[in-house]
Amino acid sequence: MIRDTIWFIFAGWLIPRWFAAVAVVILSTALLPIVSLLWQRPKLPKNAPELVRGWPILGSVDFYLQRCKFLEKQHKRRKGQPFSLYYGPHLIVGLVGEAGRTLLFNARQFDVRAGYSILLAASPHIETDIDNPALSQVNMFKRILTRERLINSLPKLLEDTDVVFGGLSDREAVVPIFPFMYRLVYKLTHRTGGVHEIAEDEELLDSTLKQFSSMEDCSLLQIMFTGWPLPSMLSKLWAGFKLHRVITGLMKERRRTGRNETDALQFLMNLGETDLEIVKCVIGILFSGLLNTGVNSAWLLSYLANDRMWYNKVQAEVDAFIARHRRTAAESVLDILQRIPYHDWDTQLPVIDVCLRETLRINLYGPAIRKNISDEDVIIPGTDQVVPSKAFAFYAMDGVHLNESIYPNAFHWEPARHLPGREEGTNKAHEFVAWGSGLHPCSSKVATLEIAVAVVAMFAHNEFHLAEPDGQPRLRPLPNLNRDNLSVNWPSEAVYVRCSPRQTRV
């Protein structure tokens, strides 16, 4: 009886305290990210653009969930003036108009890689030093992706594309063009800036591409709660660990056997960089070169398959390109293409060039993002307002690429708008910004070479048209643009092309 009484009293004392302790732990776990988020959030200076009122703590979530509608609403409400918003801990300034994009692309204080790696969380952070650019990974990229490397990589690019597109015509394949081209560009990017062993091993190519796809997934909560071990962050860390293990394993094997390659990995190894820095640099190059090039190469072929006039123009250009360099009737397409110098690939395909330019214009309409990495506020031209230090700046590229006053009938794919005599988008600076602009250009040489090689090989080996999954002709239009996409314009549905052998010999 006494024991039961003592136990009853003890339980009565313990249970409420146990529940209280559990409640404190749960509340602390829930409140800690919120407190951390608010602690990290920079204060809005008085001379910053007017703040868009968003959700408490979370900020303007529609900037990510319904970006197009959100921006249209803000532009209308603020009559074309810049504005500020918070997304979680991040202060973001929306720039508008010609002055806004001029600032975005010309400000030395703005860094593109810091912007995208944090606000999209879809690419690794690439170190940049505003005062010592020679020490940054950006400078390392420039040392790797040189004209000489492209020239040396060209034979392998041609071999890879010949095998891939020749195989399509052999079996009259129906292929989902976007994953097909994405995989091919991943392989080609390993030739120009990655690891040859991965490009040459189909199983390793597929497994590492799967890890890259995991790292590209962009979680809105991950952006908001930067650094917290959310499922998306853990998934990216695991994928990054697997990639690191693969690349370091290949480096160890080269050192063990004394094997030397001519790829970017070997270049970095010969410089004496640490294994970690080498892996970071290779992954950074692959991310920079894969996403836009992979998706837009597929859009280019889709647009051509959908427009027979431009399809025929490209076909004629490819045939003439090959015929100019043919020496004997017995030569294969690959024999001829491998003899063509890099300069000719860069200068003798003007039709493909304008088709690619138009594809980029109509598909690159998302936010161009920069971070003010300096310790000073940057004045917005024509105003007394600033982009605060450590804040992000963005400019929606559809404000220029889909602007009817610059590109009439802007939503229509029309390569002729870039031909001499029209040359839309060249009257003023920063009216075509697909390759960057001003002080923030993007080296387009790697992407244009990879796409040109792929398009020439496709047309040299195949006739193709849009199709349904069962191979029947696709009579429906291509999917509409999704202007709420955060980065590249993946189609809202699968797009297939059906390939058959050329009816006339090239």
One digit per residue, pLDDT tens: the chain, 506 residues?
A: 555 555 445 445 444 545 444 444 444 444 445 554 555 577 889 999 999 988 888 888 888 888 888 888 898 888 889 999 998 888 999 999 888 988 998 889 998 877 777 776 555 544 444 444 434 566 777 788 888 989 999 999 999 999 999 988 777 889 999 999 999 999 999 999 999 999 999 999 999 999 988 777 666 666 666 666 667 677 777 888 899 999 999 999 999 999 999 999 999 999 888 898 899 889 888 887 788 899 999 999 999 999 999 999 999 999 999 999 999 988 999 999 999 999 999 999 999 999 999 999 999 877 888 999 999 999 999 899 999 999 999 998 888 899 999 999 999 999 999 999 898 988 877 888 887 665 555 657 899 999 999 999 999 999 999 999 999 999 999 998 777 776 677 888 999 999 999 877 66
The structural domain count of the chain equals: 1
Terminal Cα distance for the chain, rounded: 102
> In terms of residues, how long is the chain?
506
Query: Can you say which residues are annotated as belonging to the binding site?
Result: 442
Does 14 reside within a domain? no
Number of other CB atoms surrounding residue 498 within 10 Å:
22
Nearest to 365 by CA among 403, 419, 422, 413: 403
Whether this prediction's pTM lies above 0.95 is answered by: no
Number of H helices, E strands in the chain: 20, 12
Question: Are 296 and 184 contacting, i.e. CB atoms less than 8 angstroms apart?
Answer: no
Does 62 reside within a domain? no
Give the pLDDT of residue 7: 47
Q: Distance between CA 221 and CA 35 in Å, rounded?
A: 15
Q: Distance between CA 436 and CA 444 in Å, rounded?
A: 9
Does 456 reside within a domain? yes
- Domain housing 198: 133-364+398-432+434-501
Give the pLDDT of residue 27: 43
Does 59 reside within a domain? no
CATH number at residue 250: 1.10.630.10
Does 317 reside within a domain? yes
Query: Can you say which residues are annotated as belonging to the binding site for heme?
Result: 442
Number of other CB atoms surrounding residue 13 within 10 Å:
10
Does 313 reside within a domain? yes
Distance of CA 259 to the CA centre of its chain: 33
From residue 336, alpha-carbon distances to 17, 82, 155, 230, 419 in Å are 82, 54, 11, 52, 28
